């Protein structure tokens, strides 16, 4: 999820709204189809995410989708709630725990995970939202995680 969010640079709700069917994984990039977003109302678009050796997004996404497929999941939300045993929560469990979003995660879950990983890496923030622009990436705008 972190590698995808870093490459996609979308809003957390856009990450959680993506379905497996929205992704096309090629050898050097992932094509992400987005029905619409906050900036492009009533306008579907396909966004290419160029793969990089240091991120290895294609390989990571292939492994994640294979893990989902092992559990019989080949469509629907890309990012899902994992139980403590590492298995994906069933639709029935999600219907009880998250009746509004169902199998789709809520956007704030992405934000919570990023903050968790940030802290686990031993990084310390100053209270402001976490923003990151890769060094030497002159066209990067940075991702804001609140």
146: which 2 tokens? 């609140």
* 48 touches 31 (CB < 8 A): yes
Q: What angle do CA 85, 107, 119 make, to 5 degrees?
A: 65
* 58 touches 25 (CB < 8 A): yes
Residue 144: what pLDDT?
41
More confident residue, 57 or 10: 57
Least confident window among 10-14, 20-24, 51-55, 82-86? 10-14
Residue 101: what pLDDT?
84
Least confident window among 16-20, 26-30, 87-91? 87-91
60: which 2 tokens? 């990571």
Does residue 32 register a pLDDT over 90?
yes
- The pTM assigned to this predicted structure is 0.73
d(CA 4, CA 18): 11
């Amino acid at each position: 999820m972190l590698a995808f969010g870093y490459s996609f640079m979308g809003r957390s709700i856009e990450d959680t709204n993506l379905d497996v069917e929205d992704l096309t994984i090629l050898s050097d990039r992932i094509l992400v189809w987005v029905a619409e977003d906050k900036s492009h109302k009533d306008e579907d678009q396909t966004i290419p995410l160029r793969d990089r050796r240091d991120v290895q997004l294609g390989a990571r996404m292939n492994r994640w989708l294979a893990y989902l497929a092992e559990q019989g999941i080949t469509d629907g939300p890309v990012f899902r709630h994992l139980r403590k045993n590492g298995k994906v929560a069933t639709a029935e469990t999600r219907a009880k725990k998250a009746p509004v979003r169902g199998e789709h995660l809520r956007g704030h879950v992405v934000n919570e995970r990023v903050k968790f990983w940030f802290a686990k890496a031993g990084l310390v923030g100053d209270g402001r939202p976490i923003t990151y622009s890769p060094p030497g990436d002159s066209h990067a705008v940075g991702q804001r995680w609140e």
